[in-house]
Structure 1
Amino acid sequence: MVKPVLIPAAVSALLTTLLPCILAVMSDIDHNYWILATQKYIKSPNSQEIPFASFRTNLNSFSHIKDLESKALNQARAVGVLLIARVKVEPSSKKEGKGETSAEIERGGRLSTAAETLNRERIYFSSIITPEDKLHVELGLKDEWAFAFWKHEDDISRLLHIDTLRLGGGEWQLEDLGKVLRHH
């Protein structure tokens, strides 16, 4: 017989393991932009297609790393990001955009105005974690590179996916994360 005290501990352990996967589930739209991102990984601007082999493609592989999302975002701020796409977000109700306040978006303790709602944008970007980066060691990678795929919406950046690739070279034009998000 299982002791009642062990059940909450088991549930807690299970949730801790699965939560990153549950929270980072990509929608169909996110998945389409992830496909676009993978195309950008292998086609750097000033070279031919880069040969690569993919090794790990889900966040659960890195669930042992505490605060992975914040560490990866700090690394992206320090190194720069590869802009994947800017997507205009349509208002989610008929009232939005007509002088009404949005009941769906809270910004800094206040509801957004209709004008803010109409100018909403979703930004997809990737950050590259190379063998020289401190986070690379923590991820337990050997000579692979990690490409962290992000979605920024409603002032929140969410880590959706990490591709781990062995690359045969490549150079990408990275942009400052602050500049990428500034007009958001």
Structure 2
Amino acid sequence: MAKKEKKNTGKLSSTTFSLIVICIVGVLAVALGLLYPKVKNIQNIKADWLANTIRLEEQKRFYPAYAQACNLADTQFANLLPLPERKAIAREEISGLGEVFKQIAEKEGVALSENRMDTESFKTGAELISMNITYKGEFLHFRPCLIELIKLPCFNSLENVEIRTDRDNVRYCSIRCKIAIENNDVSKNQG
């Protein structure tokens, strides 16, 4: 009888052991089922936090420029260009504009690289003539050149302004503008 009791005890212990293992595996499965979504959520939160940190660092880097742009946008600038009364230049005086453009260049510390008149716009009866002017020099000197050009009494409008740099790092400012010229249409003068 003692042997039978030992066998039952052995069977009970293996059954009990199996039940304990099944319970532990079940508890682990339930725990993983409950914890996995939370771990995944924590990983998503970390990824969002990292993305926001990177975005904030970028914003910190660009904030001074943004703040300065906002200040400039709110600033009221006085009209600092006392523009002369506009009047057309006589056709005979157009050839002297090249010297005027050269003087502007010398005054502002740049060189006059090109001064071309659009001959198509210089016909009898035309009131405006297109001019192509190119200055060569430092970038910061181009703005005063433009201001001096606009101050000319015969200046009418800007058509195009282009700033470019060549291979040797020399900067050019090409300007296409319209100059008011006197109309010498013969039919108008006779009537």
After TM superposition, the score normalised by the length of structure 1 is 0.23
Higher helix share: 2
Higher relative contact order (CA 8 A, sep 6+): 1
Q: Which has the larger radius of gyration?
A: 2
Higher strand share: 1
